[in-house]
Amino acid sequence: MVRYSYVYGSERDELAVPSQRLIEAALSGDVEFLTESLKSKTVDVNYTRTISLKHLLNPILHCLLYGYQVDSRTETGDTALMLAAKADQAGYFLELIVSGADLGLVNNNGETAVQLAKRSVFGSSLADIFRQAITTGRKVYSSNLEVFSLLHFVAGIGNTELLQMILQYSTEEIIKHDGLGLTPTMVSLKAGHTEAFRLLIDARGDISEKSRDCQAVVSLLQNHAGSSLRNRFEEILLDAVLIHKVTCYSEFRALHFAARVGNLPAIVQLFEMGFPINSVDDSGHSPSCLLPGVDCRIVNLRGETAISLARKISKCKAAEGVIFDYLDRSHVIRGEELWKHTREARGSPHVKVVRINFKIFC
């Protein structure tokens, strides 16, 4: 092992800024030019770090060890990280990220390191590069989340393995906005990545946060209107409400969604949680108006039906009435034979066909 020095803070600012020629020499491995250039540099013994001997062959590390700032810019505003992307040097790109290179910088042409990397030969491997950087235990740094945020980037590509790794280390960016004014949860929703969305919701992604154009997560669901994706996103939100991970009840009308898809166990649980039975959505519908052709006779593994569950729970008496109303309405609409009692249910029952010829509205 060999001990070398890094320089930080104001003392580091006094050191010469590397020219584009020097950084390009580092990227291309021009050892002769590097040797001559670095001989003139004085190594400050302010901070030491132990590195293995094999790393001495890395020209990027040579520059860093001799006090050059990792985010120094060339005449065109490029950082070493940007030049590594332009030169298709995936290994050096990773080394610089691990060394704390700032992904939130923009060059004179308005390009970022990640934008340049996406156009490079290793563009399809960016997720793996970030995964390797995270496994070193170092933070992937960006001084400007509107330029680049790792959490937003991963939410947008839907890489659940990498997303889990990031959320395990930190969730501080989970309600922050990117350059488009979106939170990571919004980014995953717009991109249609349901599992990434679920992970972010489980990590307490706030669905009440508004985008730059004042849209919340639920309003962005309109992007997937009429598709199975919308149902899946809403199922994730419903599950999160039922386990109290989403508490913004006014943002997502869980009871209305449960009624629309016919999820009777969820409806009963929501009633038990105190959700109002007569609440109306933006279209003026109550939950009972949205019930589709639900089979209220379905029995679960414990031998319970929607009616028996509603009767067991004191808070669900209103739910019992809704279920009976729904059953009554469905029988009449179908034109079924029912038992009718005379004299206000005191007389003998007899069969009666009930039928209606006009559409019943809620």
233-257 mean pLDDT: 89
Helix (H, G, I), strand (E, B) or coil at 105: coil
Fold (topology level) of 149-252: 1.25.40
pLDDT category at 34 given cuts 50, 70, 90 is low
pLDDT category at 76 given cuts 50, 70, 90 is confident
228-243 mean pLDDT: 93
Tokens of 325: 């109303």
Identify the residue with better confidence: 28 or 227.
Answer: 227
- Which pLDDT does position 170 carry in this prediction? 86
Asked if 259 and 216 count as a contact pair (C-beta separation under 8 A), the reply is no
| Amino acid sitting at position 328 | D
Identify the residue with better confidence: 288 or 47.
Answer: 288
Between 39-53, 219-233, 328-342, the lowest mean confidence (pLDDT) is in: 39-53
- Which pLDDT does position 23 carry in this prediction? 60
Classify residue 15 by its DSSP letter. S
Helix (H, G, I), strand (E, B) or coil at 115: helix
- Which pLDDT does position 273 carry in this prediction? 87
- Which pLDDT does position 116 carry in this prediction? 97
The sign of the CA dihedral 14, 15, 16, 22 is: negative
pTM, to two decimals? 0.69
Tokens of 242: 């039922």
Asked if 171 and 204 count as a contact pair (C-beta separation under 8 A), the reply is yes
- Which pLDDT does position 31 carry in this prediction? 55
Question: Is it the case that residue 268 has pLDDT exceeding 90?
Answer: no
Fold agreement between 1-138 and 149-252? yes
User: What residues form DSSP beta bridges with 349?
Assistant: 341
Q: How far apart are CA 64 and CA 66, in angstroms?
A: 5
Question: Mean pLDDT of all residues in the chain?
Answer: 76
CATH architecture of 1-138: Alpha Horseshoe (1.25)
216-238 mean pLDDT: 88
Question: Is it the case that residue 193 has pLDDT exceeding 90?
Answer: yes
pLDDT above 90 covers a percentage of the chain that reads 33
10 Å Cβ neighbour count for 4?
17
User: What residues form DSSP beta bridges with 51?
Assistant: 2
Q: Are strands 349-353 and 337-341 parallel, antiparallel or unpaired?
A: antiparallel
- Which pLDDT does position 111 carry in this prediction? 97
pLDDT category at 20 given cuts 50, 70, 90 is low
- Which pLDDT does position 37 carry in this prediction? 57
Q: How far apart are CA 206 and CA 174, in angstroms?
A: 8
Q: How far apart are CA 132 and CA 23, in angstroms?
A: 23
Q: Helix crossing, 150-157 with 160-169: angle to 10°?
A: 150
pLDDT above 70 covers a percentage of the chain that reads 62
* Residue ranges in the chain assigned as alpha helix (H): 9-13, 20-28, 31-39, 59-65, 80-86, 90-98, 113-118, 126-135, 150-157, 160-169, 184-191, 194-202, 217-220, 228-242, 254-261, 264-272, 306-312, 317-334
Mind listing the pLDDT tens digit for each residue in 113-169?
999 999 999 999 999 999 999 999 888 999 999 999 999 999 999 999 999 999 998
pLDDT category at 54 given cuts 50, 70, 90 is very low
Helix (H, G, I), strand (E, B) or coil at 125: helix
- Which pLDDT does position 125 carry in this prediction? 95
78-92 mean pLDDT: 88
Identify the residue with better confidence: 361 or 354.
Answer: 354
275-303 in b/e burial notation, b at 16+ Cβ within 10 A?
A: bebeeebeeebbbbebbeebeeeeeeeee
- Which pLDDT does position 360 carry in this prediction? 47
Largest CA distance in the chain: 111
- Which pLDDT does position 181 carry in this prediction? 94
- Which pLDDT does position 164 carry in this prediction? 96
Q: How far is CA 311 from the centre of its chain?
A: 39
248-273 mean pLDDT: 85
41-53 mean pLDDT: 32
Asked if 116 and 77 count as a contact pair (C-beta separation under 8 A), the reply is no
- Which pLDDT does position 188 carry in this prediction? 96
- Which pLDDT does position 312 carry in this prediction? 67
Question: Is it the case that residue 223 has pLDDT exceeding 70?
Answer: yes
254-259 mean pLDDT: 88
10 Å Cβ neighbour count for 41?
16
Map out the domains of the chain as residue ranges: 1-138, 149-252
- Which pLDDT does position 1 carry in this prediction? 28
